[in-house]
Amino acid sequence: MDQLFNLLNLSQETIVFLTAFSVLTFLSGIIVLPWLIWAIPSDYFIDENRHPMQWKFGGKLLRPLVLIIKNLLGFLLVIFGVAMLVLPGQGILTILAGLILMDFPGKFHLLRSIATRKQVLNSLNWIRRKGNRRPFETSESDID
C-alpha cells in the first residue's frame, strides 16, 4: 500500500482528506440537494424575469446575516458540485442548487438557461416527484 501512495505521490493524510471530501459531497448530494429543490416554487422558471421575494424575517441586522450565510452555503454547494463532476454525486444539480442560493447579477437568467435543458429539467422534476412536489413549469420554447 505504501508503494501505491509513493507511486501516486500522495500522503496518507491527502488520501484520507480526499476520501472524507468524497463522502461529504455524496451525502450532501443525497440529503441537502433534494430539500433545496423541493423548496423552490414550481413556477420559479416560468417568467422571463424573476419576481423579488418578500423578506419574511424581521430586523435590519438579521437580513444581512442570513444573506451572508445563504451565499456561503451556496458557494460551498457550487464547490462541492464541481468536485462531484469527478467524485460520486449529482454534480450539475448540486451546482444548480448552489447557484440558486447565491445572489449575483444575472443569476436568474443563468439558472433558467441551465434548468430548462431537457435532461436537467427531467432530473429536477424526478427529484420533485419523489418529494410529492409539483414539477417545474416552463414554456415549451424554453426547453432545449
Q: Is residue 138 part of a domain?
A: no
pTM above 0.75, yes or no: no
What is 89-120 written as a DSSP string? S-HHHHHHHHHHHS--TTHHHHHHHHHTSHHH
pLDDT in the model for residue 114: 85
* Whether pLDDT at 101 is above 60: yes
* 64: in domain: yes
Please indicate, yes or no, if residue 88 is contained in any of the structural domains: yes
Asked if the structure places residue 54 within a domain, the reply is no
Q: Is 53 part of any domain?
A: no
What percentage of residues in the chain have a pLDDT greater than 70? 78
* Domain annotation covers residue 139: no
Of the candidates 39, 34, 42, the one whose C-alpha atom is nearest the C-alpha of residue 56 is 39
Number of separate domains in the chain: 1
Report if residue 107 sits inside a domain.
Answer: yes
Instruction: Answer yes or no: is 8 within a domain.
Output: yes
Domain of residue 73: give its range: 2-47+59-130
Residue 133: which of 44, 27, 30 has the closest Cα?
Answer: 44
Residue 144 confidence (pLDDT) above 60: no
Model confidence pLDDT, tens digit, residues 26-69 = 777 778 778 888 988 888 888 777 666 666 656 677 878 888 99
Q: In terms of pLDDT, which residue wins out, 12 or 62? A: 62
Q: What is the mean pLDDT of residues 67-85?
A: 86
